[in-house]
Amino acid sequence: MRPERVTSSDVAKEAGVSQSAVSRAYTPGASVSEATKEKVFAAAKKLGYQPNAIARSLISRRSNMIGIVMADIVNPFYPAVLDMFMRLFQERGHRVMLFMASRDQNIDDLLPRLLEYQVDGVVITSVTLSSEMANYCAKLGTPVALFNRYVPQAEASSVCCDNIDAARNVADLLLDAGHRRLGYIAGVENTSTNQDREYGFTSRIRERRMPSPLREVGHYTYEGGFEAALRLFAGEDKPDALFCANDIMALGVMDAIRGKLNLRIPEDVSVIGFDDIASAGWEGYRLTTVRPPAEKMVELTVQTLVDCINDPKQPMVALMEKGELVVRGSARLPEQLHMPHAQG
């Protein structure tokens, strides 16, 4: 026979406090003394009480749950980011519900299903949200924070790496090192992340009166980068340097250049990536790349979303953080940068 469930009334009676005091003891940030908390928790342990989060959310109209939407989980950059998000939200008394989107799935179709769970807020990473859906969430009173991307005219906060500035620095590094035929391997073309990296790289090259870069699309995957490199070198006009919109593609590019094309890196071709994933520093790659301040970006995203949950009148914010160029061995360097600034 199934034992009868212990209730908050049972705990209140055992602890000698009111039922509302029991509720406050289990509510993060609620006004309750430490002495009362200790009585409640001791009674709960003795009776085997487990608080009912669902019932509590119905009373408070807060689920303390954050929805995170992510698609590119095979990219090592994002599991590390997810770990940081989960840790920081949990430290603030929130639980995380992860929704996975397929690479080609429209997030506007997925988000209404997430909202059915009455989440207090939503973080969106590695997928694209329309301004219409962001505004719909705002009307429902569910704040949205975009991580490492933004949507123009959307009622959503965003925290991004300054991709344009970082890509301009990549172009300068390659041109200052004497490269004259540059190429760009794009990720997913309709993302703000890819668009800004391509714009920064291409516009800086044009400002310096060099030919527009060659271009292929790698869809942010290793296989995509590998094949994109082969296509670029199959043409008559071959690049002497490649900037890839993320590290995973850059690793595929490097393996194609050395394994299939029998060219040397960086003597024949320089390769630069973006993200600074762990494998970028492996001895077999030693990839020069851009390191976004991921930890700071996650902290800002969490704080921004929590602020909007606690105060719905908080204005939307759009924050940009500088990336850092990490110099290793996959790109030729200008004379003044040889060795003293090398990392990894």
Q: What is the CATH number of the domain that holds 232?
A: 3.40.50.2300
Q: What contacts 306, CB < 8 A, 6 or more positions away?
A: 92, 94, 121
Confidence band, pLDDT 50/70/90 cuts, at residue 341:
very low
- Examine residue 1 and state whether it is found in any structural domain, yes or no: no
Residue 168 sits in the same domain as residue 280: yes
CATH of the domain at 27: 1.10.260.40
**What's the whole-number mean pLDDT along residues 239-246?**
97
143-160: per-residue pLDDT in tens? 989 998 888 877 889 999
CA nearest 14: which of 36, 40, 38?
40
Residue 119 sits in the same domain as residue 169: no
Residue 332 sits in the same domain as residue 193: yes
Interatomic CA distance for residues 301 and 123, integer angstroms: 8
- Examine residue 3 and state whether it is found in any structural domain, yes or no: no
State the residue range of the domain holding 272: 163-292+325-337
Interatomic CA distance for residues 256 and 250, integer angstroms: 10
Please say whether the beta carbons of 170 and 290 come within 8 A: yes
Domain end: 16, 36, 60, which one? 60
CB atoms within 10 A of CB 231: 14
- Six-digit token string for 260: 């299939």
Interatomic CA distance for residues 305 and 311, integer angstroms: 10
- Examine residue 266 and state whether it is found in any structural domain, yes or no: yes
Using the Cα atoms of residue 172, residue 178, residue 180 and residue 186 in order, give the sign of their dihedral: negative
Interatomic CA distance for residues 284 and 267, integer angstroms: 16
- Examine residue 175 and state whether it is found in any structural domain, yes or no: yes
End-to-end CA distance of the chain: 62
Residue 206 sits in the same domain as residue 330: yes
Confidence band, pLDDT 50/70/90 cuts, at residue 227:
very high
Residue 339 is predicted with a pLDDT of 43
> Residue 146 belongs to what H/E stretch?
strand 144-147
- Examine residue 77 and state whether it is found in any structural domain, yes or no: yes
Residue 122 sits in the same domain as residue 266: no
Of all residues in the chain, the percent with pLDDT exceeding 70 is 89
Number of domains in the chain: 3
- Helix/strand number for the chain, H first, E second: 12, 12
Please say whether the beta carbons of 18 and 9 come within 8 A: no
In angstroms, what CA-CA distances link 201 with 62, 194, 244?
Answer: 44, 11, 10
Confidence band, pLDDT 50/70/90 cuts, at residue 266:
very high
Residue 146 sits in the same domain as residue 260: no
Query: What 3-state DSSP class applies to 155?
Result: coil
Q: In what order do the strands lie in the sheet with 288-291?
A: 214-217, 182-186, 241-244, 270-274, 288-291, 324-326
Residue 99 sits in the same domain as residue 222: no
Please say whether the beta carbons of 239 and 211 come within 8 A: no
Residue 266 sits in the same domain as residue 217: yes
Residue 194 sits in the same domain as residue 222: yes
Residue 288 sits in the same domain as residue 226: yes
pLDDT tops 70 at residue 267: yes
Bridge partners for 273 per DSSP:
289
Residue 259 sits in the same domain as residue 244: yes
pLDDT tops 70 at residue 105: no
Query: What 3-state DSSP class applies to 327?
Result: coil
Residue 255 sits in the same domain as residue 315: no
Give CA angle at 231 (227, 237), nearest 5°: 150
- Examine residue 343 and state whether it is found in any structural domain, yes or no: no
Interatomic CA distance for residues 23 and 7, integer angstroms: 11
Please say whether the beta carbons of 169 and 211 come within 8 A: no
- Judge if the upstream peptide bond of residue 266 is cis by omega within 30 degrees of 0: yes
**What's the whole-number mean pLDDT along residues 159-182?**
96
- Examine residue 344 and state whether it is found in any structural domain, yes or no: no
- Examine residue 306 and state whether it is found in any structural domain, yes or no: yes
